[in-house]
Structure 1
Amino acid sequence: MSKLIILDRDGVINQDSDSYIKTVEEWQPIPGSIEAIAKLSQAGYLITVATNQSGIARGLFSEKTLLAMHEKMLSMVSEAKGKIECIVYCPHGPDDACDCRKPKTGLINQIESTLKTSAINAWLVGDSLRDIEAAEKAGCKPILVKSGKGQRTLTANPAIKAEIHDDLADFAEALLSQDHKA
């Protein structure tokens, strides 16, 4: 069984905004998400983050600012006694014809390469149809959380083929309780 978990960032780990998360100050965790990451990593799961960040291509923030947001996230997870193994991101816009922007699988391939592991049957937790499509293309188990844009995604795609949870904390609790039954 895969112990790899791939998390989308905005709307899964931190609050999302239709006008993008552009500063370190705007990066605020969703209640329970940091603790969920810590619990999962303490239980032996490899936690990774794969995030589209087209705000860079749009000139809304710099890669330096993005890295500072990720430092804040890593620091909070570390304080909660957790660990994120790697963070990969796509800095491109929707029209850039890259291979990394979800729903393409380039970010998942980068995680596989970095960790020297397969993402087949890994969980991919997201709040958008793009996340679910990337999971399906890469052979991952798609999880849709209702946080962020997740409820909007579910309303627009009621027949979506994904396990559905309220948020990351709810998914972590379900997965860990399933582990205890196994």
Structure 2
Amino acid sequence: MEHRMKLLILDRDGTLNRNRDDYVASPDEWEALPGALEAVALLNQGGWRVVLATNQSGIGRGMFDMASLNAIHAKMHRQLAAAGARVEAVFFCPHAPEDACDCRKPAPGLFVQIGQRFGMDLARVPAAGNAVRHVQAAAAAGCNTHLLLTGQSAALRGHSGLGAELASPVPTLPPGTQVHDDLSAFADWLLAQPTD
């Protein structure tokens, strides 16, 4: 039987770590969400390779530089490793909105790059994040989409139209997007799915 790689694309801010009103601009400001690192470890144990797709317009806006971003990710990787978890790669868009690039979410460029790098058909790749634009970008690239009610989407908890699957209570959410309380709940759901 052919063994297929299981690839998963996650958002970073508000999904793995606490969202800030401005930017996570230094390692001191990167703080993992409760249970998030452990959720990645469970996913890894279940055979999932995890990749991040993240907008980092603070670089394009001059709020922090590549050295700071590398230091933030070094801290993130250390904390993941301490929890027995691993993120394979971080794909990021450094551009400001006015740069009109094709990689800033909700454009699908980062997801397309990930699909090419890993040689994956994105229709087989789930994508989860707390930002609607992450879900929109994932849908535009052909991924299965999942919204996490953390970070930017925490305010949607208890929304009357939020069931396990949304038709479209949030007008901009792609149809068929499934909703989970947080990364741990998503990991539990994903690991419970039958494998083909």
C-alpha distance in structure 2 between counterparts of 1:144 and 1:68, whole Å: 28
Residue 171 (structure 1) aligned with residue 186 (structure 2): yes
Relative to structure 1, the CA distance from residue 63 to residue 153 in structure 2 (aligned partners, 3 Å threshold; closer, same or farther) is farther
Choose from 92, 111, 117 the match for 2:114.
Answer: 111
Aligned to 2:169: 158
User: In the alignment, which residue of structure 2 is the partner of 1:84?
Assistant: 87
Q: Partner of 1:32 in structure 2? A: 35
Query: TM-score scaled to structure 1, two decimals?
Result: 0.91
Q: Give every structure 1 segment of 4 or more consecutive aligned residues whose post-TM-superposition deviation is greater than 3 Å.
A: 152-155
Please say which structure displays the higher CA radius of gyration.
2
**Alignment equivalent of 2:21, drawn from 18, 35, 39:** 18
Q: Which runs of 5+ in 1 are unaligned?
A: none
Q: Is the 8 A contact 1:92 1:101 kept in 2?
A: yes
Q: How much does 1:4 deviate?
A: 1.4
* Secondary structure of the corresponding residue to residue 5 of structure 1: strand
Q: Deviations over 1:83-132 (max 9, x none)?
A: 21111000001110111111111111221222222222311111122111
Instruction: Report the Cα offset of residue 2 of structure 1.
Output: 6.8
What TM-score does the superposition give when structure 2 sets the normalisation length?
Answer: 0.85
Partner residue of 2:55? 52
Amino acid of the residue matched to residue 158 of structure 1? Answer: P
Query: CA RMSD for the aligned pairs?
Result: 1.9
- Secondary structure of the 1:95 match is helix
Quick one: distance in 2 between partners of 1:74 and 1:121?
Answer: 26
1:60 Cα deviation from its structure 2 partner: 1.0
- Write the distance in 2 (CA, Å) between the matches of 1:152 and 1:121: 30
Equivalent residue number for residue 9 of structure 1: 12
- More divergent stretch after superposition (24-33 vs 1-10): 1-10
Q: Give the secondary-structure state (helix, strand or coil) at the position aligned to 1:143.
A: strand
Which residue type is aligned with residue 93 of structure 1? A
User: Relative contact order (alpha carbons < 8 A, sep ≥ 6): 1 or 2 greater?
Assistant: 1
Q: Which runs of 5+ in 2 are unaligned?
A: 160-167
Q: 1:67 aligns with which of 67, 70, 73?
A: 70
The DSSP-based 3-state class of the residue aligned with 2:27 is coil
